Amino acid sequence: MTTLIASPDTTVIRLHGPCNASNAVDFQRQIRIAVTQEHNTNVLVDLEQVESLDSAGLMALVYGLRLTQGLGRRFSLCSVSPSIRIIFELTQLDQVFEIFESLASFETAIA
């Protein structure tokens, strides 16, 4: 479901398949690990290969955002498909999350 890619300042969490109630707890654990590592100032969740997102998956993302904000770190999303993006728009969370078109646009923004 997830792949972690760590660099000196950023951890990229790549999700695969559905992000729903069946795997949201594992996803939250991965977020907690990524956020609490001392060297990370940025956590990026790549949603390019996410097939579906339910309320539990959305709450896992909100958990990650709150956790990083509490630690003074950056939590961003990238590569959100149109079918997933509409969920963020309907819940108005597109105004809360920092969403980048791609990994490359994120890298450009932090450079």
What is residue 39's predicted lDDT score, i.e. its pLDDT? 72
Task: Specify the pTM.
Answer: 0.90
Four-residue CA torsion sign, 70, 85, 27, 36: negative
Q: Does domain 2-110 have CATH number 3.30.750.24?
A: yes
pLDDT digits over 28-56, tens only?
998 888 888 767 788 999 999 999 999 99
Say what the pLDDT of residue 6 is.
59
pLDDT at 2: 58
Domain regions of the chain by residue span: 2-110
Whether 27 and 1 have beta carbons less than 8 Å apart is answered as yes
What is the pLDDT at residue 37? 74
**Quick one: pLDDT at residue 1?**
54
Q: Please list the ranges in the chain whose pLDDT falls under 50.
A: none
